[in-house]
A and B are shown apart, each in its own frame.
Chain A
């Protein structure tokens, strides 16, 4: 009976699998970020319990799990966005290239320049398209001249696949774009500061399927150069874009493995129940 239930998702998720076999095997990727025994508290309430997770460079790691399981909380730990929440407290060790990001020597502002973030709802600044992308490089002093800045903006928009659509209207407000374009603008904005890691918190949940497909294709390209961590509610999306998948449940990391194995032959029954749609 159990085998019968497990058999269904195999068929469902196998379609996009061949793409992934083309990319490098997971074992050959370098370790980019590492979390050890991370606990997160909101006031008295504990949101994460002893999470230990390795994140590999030049690949997509997806975090899945039911609502409220702590996957977004974990994501926000990776660039210390939780710092701005007053009642939030993080323990444990998170390293980026082997260095603890929570140490007092690390400036969260500089960390966020290395670990960029794309949010659930597209949130361009209420400024022009150009300004949206140029803002990050400008505050970090990445461009020494106007021409250089314009070049960074152009390259970022090209990498985000938005250049052709907006090159003639860079001075128009970013908020005037469509939802999918806005999200790609946000990705361009994150790329512009030349980060090493890009965190994406359900980047497609506010988008239609066509815009979602474009963002997913974009992730496919970006993973050649960046380490990407994505939180998603869609298991199909996790299966399509990621090389490794981590399953969170009730604030605990239940299982992490190669995406193919997670969706075909998970070792934990809870993972199996979740990916087969038994709960969540």
Chain B
């Protein structure tokens, strides 16, 4: 072999090598680009979701209130039996006093429709709580009714342009939105002028129970119901899940039966939630006769769904514990349960907790099984929610509100979704904090 041939064979090889290197870099770069595109897409979609939720939901976080100075007339509200007072008349008189143009009973009724239909009950509750106010003047912030709430927030217009039917090209006439009467508009503008219309933060969204009137509807009932259901779900699925996983992972003999159990647990995790709902309906309600719509049953159904998630996560966490720790504990003469409880479980705890909280977050957002056992009850009062009482939950509340025709529920549905997402974010945060605390201990 001469030098010339050597050079000839070498040079193209070198050239090919650079080409290969360039191709490899390009492939590396492409792979990264795909990943960035995928993440960008996911973040973009999440952004669109959040923007649309916030843009429709933000209005539900404020509420149009009207400050009314009400004279609690002792002639209409008897101090001896205030609960039976004619609060409707008191509210009507208050409005008529502010706006005396309303003379006929029809006009007076029109006036009261500016306020929420609950206004007499709000006044009643106030008077019952403060009996000394009878015969006095009190100032109450009463929510405006839904159309005026929407009007004040600019969702629906005050006037609308009707093209003049007769002559083409003639100027359209401006008429009052047919949802309101001219008298109502006049009165509302008058209230605005007097500075009585305010739009403060809507605490009622969190502290009111459900209502037919969107201006009065809140999530307190749903939050309470979800809390009880999740509590039951956690109390059932956390210990059972860990016990099952511990047995399967550490004690069970490896044979056909345990293989079968393992396969079935993995399959259970993939069963659609509506099936668990049907199961709960048939077994818990039908067979055991537990009360319908109760958070106890809701939690039990949810725990059926959460159990496989917790078992799988716990087994993975147990498997990840280094065998050297088990050997060390066995070597100093720890018994099997001491090895498990003192050494393996604490090391596996962060993983178990993460799996549990992921399962609980799934359960918090689960709708279908709760609908099937009737946990979408209409709960107008938060006071009487217990484990066995009818209740609703956050996702089923969202479902009912989304189904309601009133304009005000559109924003409230989005707001409720934001609240649900907020709870999920808080749960994940708790999971992260717990993890770090557990890990720092060692």
B333→A119 contact, CB < 8 A: no
Q: Is A203 an interface residue (CB 8 A)?
A: no
B327→A81 contact, CB < 8 A: yes
B331→A190 contact, CB < 8 A: yes
Beta-carbon nearest neighbor of A80 in chain B:
B330
Q: What string of 1s and 0s marks CB contacts (under 8 Å) between B137-180 and chain A?
A: 00000000000000000000000000000000000000000000
Beta-carbon nearest neighbor of A107 in chain B:
B335
Beta-carbon nearest neighbor of B440 in chain A:
A173
A121: chain B residues within 8 A (beta carbon):
324
Q: In the complex the two chains form, what is the Cα distance from A125 to B338 in whole Å?
A: 13
Q: A119-B324, A121-B324, A127-B442 are known contacts. Are A109 and B329 too (CB-CB below 8 A)?
A: no
Q: In the complex the two chains form, what is the Cα distance from A79 to B343 in whole Å?
A: 20
Q: Is B54 an interface residue (CB 8 A)?
A: no
B325→A123 contact, CB < 8 A: yes
Q: How many chain-B residues does the 8 Å CB contact rule pick out?
A: 21
A109→B334 contact, CB < 8 A: yes
Q: Is B342 an interface residue (CB 8 A)?
A: yes
Q: A113-B333, A175-B442 are known contacts. Are A119 and B254 too (CB-CB below 8 A)?
A: no
B331: chain A residues within 8 A (beta carbon):
79, 81, 112, 116-119, 190
B327: chain A residues within 8 A (beta carbon):
81, 117, 119, 123
Q: Is B261 an interface residue (CB 8 A)?
A: no
Q: In the complex the two chains form, what is the Cα distance from A116 to B253 in whole Å?
A: 27
A139: chain B residues within 8 A (beta carbon):
332-335, 338, 342
Q: Is B433 an interface residue (CB 8 A)?
A: no
B330: chain A residues within 8 A (beta carbon):
81, 84, 112
Residue from A79, A111, A119 in contact with B328 in the complex, judged by beta carbons closer than 8 Å: A119
Q: Is B95 an interface residue (CB 8 A)?
A: no
A190: chain B residues within 8 A (beta carbon):
331-332
B332→A189 contact, CB < 8 A: yes
A126→B442 contact, CB < 8 A: yes
Q: Is B358 an interface residue (CB 8 A)?
A: no
Beta-carbon nearest neighbor of B339 in chain A:
A84
Q: A230 → chain B, closest Cβ, in Å?
A: 15
Q: Is B347 an interface residue (CB 8 A)?
A: yes
A113: chain B residues within 8 A (beta carbon):
332-333
Q: Is A274 an interface residue (CB 8 A)?
A: no
A84: chain B residues within 8 A (beta carbon):
326, 330
Interface residues of A in 119-142 (CB under 8 A from B): 119, 121, 123-127, 135-136, 139-140
Interface residues of A in 208-255 (CB under 8 A from B): none
Residue from B254, B324, B333, B347 in contact with A140 in the complex, judged by beta carbons closer than 8 Å: B333
Q: Is A186 an interface residue (CB 8 A)?
A: yes
Q: A92 → chain B, closest Cβ, in Å?
A: 22
A193→B325 contact, CB < 8 A: no
A175: chain B residues within 8 A (beta carbon):
442
B346: chain A residues within 8 A (beta carbon):
126
B334: chain A residues within 8 A (beta carbon):
109, 135-136, 139
B324→A135 contact, CB < 8 A: no
A126: chain B residues within 8 A (beta carbon):
325, 346-347, 442
Q: What string of 1s and 0s marks CB contacts (under 8 Å) between B336-348 and chain A?
A: 0010001100110
Q: B441 → chain A, closest Cβ, in Å?
A: 8
Q: A213 → chain B, closest Cβ, in Å?
A: 24
Beta-carbon nearest neighbor of B335 in chain A:
A109
Beta-carbon nearest neighbor of A113 in chain B:
B333
Q: A86-B254, A173-B442, A175-B442 are known contacts. Are A124 and B328 too (CB-CB below 8 A)?
A: yes
A81: chain B residues within 8 A (beta carbon):
327, 330-331
B332→A123 contact, CB < 8 A: no
Q: A112-B333, A113-B333, A139-B334 are known contacts. Are A186 and B442 too (CB-CB below 8 A)?
A: no
Q: Is A4 an interface residue (CB 8 A)?
A: no
Q: In the complex the two chains form, what is the Cα distance from A116 to B329 in whole Å?
A: 11
B329: chain A residues within 8 A (beta carbon):
125, 135
B442→A109 contact, CB < 8 A: no
Q: Is A110 an interface residue (CB 8 A)?
A: yes
A125→B325 contact, CB < 8 A: yes
Q: In the complex the two chains form, what is the Cα distance from A175 to B440 in whole Å?
A: 12
Q: A86-B254, A173-B442 are known contacts. Are A125 and B333 too (CB-CB below 8 A)?
A: no
A117: chain B residues within 8 A (beta carbon):
327, 331
Beta-carbon nearest neighbor of A110 in chain B:
B333
Q: B328 → chain A, closest Cβ, in Å?
A: 4
Q: In the complex the two chains form, what is the Cα distance from A39 to B257 in whole Å?
A: 31
Q: In the complex the two chains form, what is the Cα distance from A230 to B330 in whole Å?
A: 18
A127: chain B residues within 8 A (beta carbon):
442
Q: B442 → chain A, closest Cβ, in Å?
A: 4
Q: In the complex the two chains form, what is the Cα distance from A109 to B336 in whole Å?
A: 9
Residue from B253, B254, B324, B442 in contact with A123 in the complex, judged by beta carbons closer than 8 Å: B324
B333→A136 contact, CB < 8 A: yes
Q: In the complex the two chains form, what is the Cα distance from A140 to B334 in whole Å?
A: 8
Beyond A117-B331, A126-B346, A193-B333, list 20 extra A-B contacts (CB 8 Å): A86-B254, A109-B333, A109-B334, A112-B333, A113-B332, A113-B333, A117-B327, A118-B331, A119-B327, A123-B325, A123-B327, A124-B328, A126-B442, A136-B333, A139-B335, A139-B342, A140-B333, A175-B442, A186-B328, A193-B332
Report 5 cross-chain contacts, Cβ distance below 8 Å, ordered by A residue. Answer: A84-B326, A109-B333, A113-B332, A116-B331, A126-B325
The 7 A-B pairs at the shortest CB distance, nearest first, are namely: A113-B333, A123-B324, A126-B442, A117-B331, A136-B332, A112-B333, A123-B328
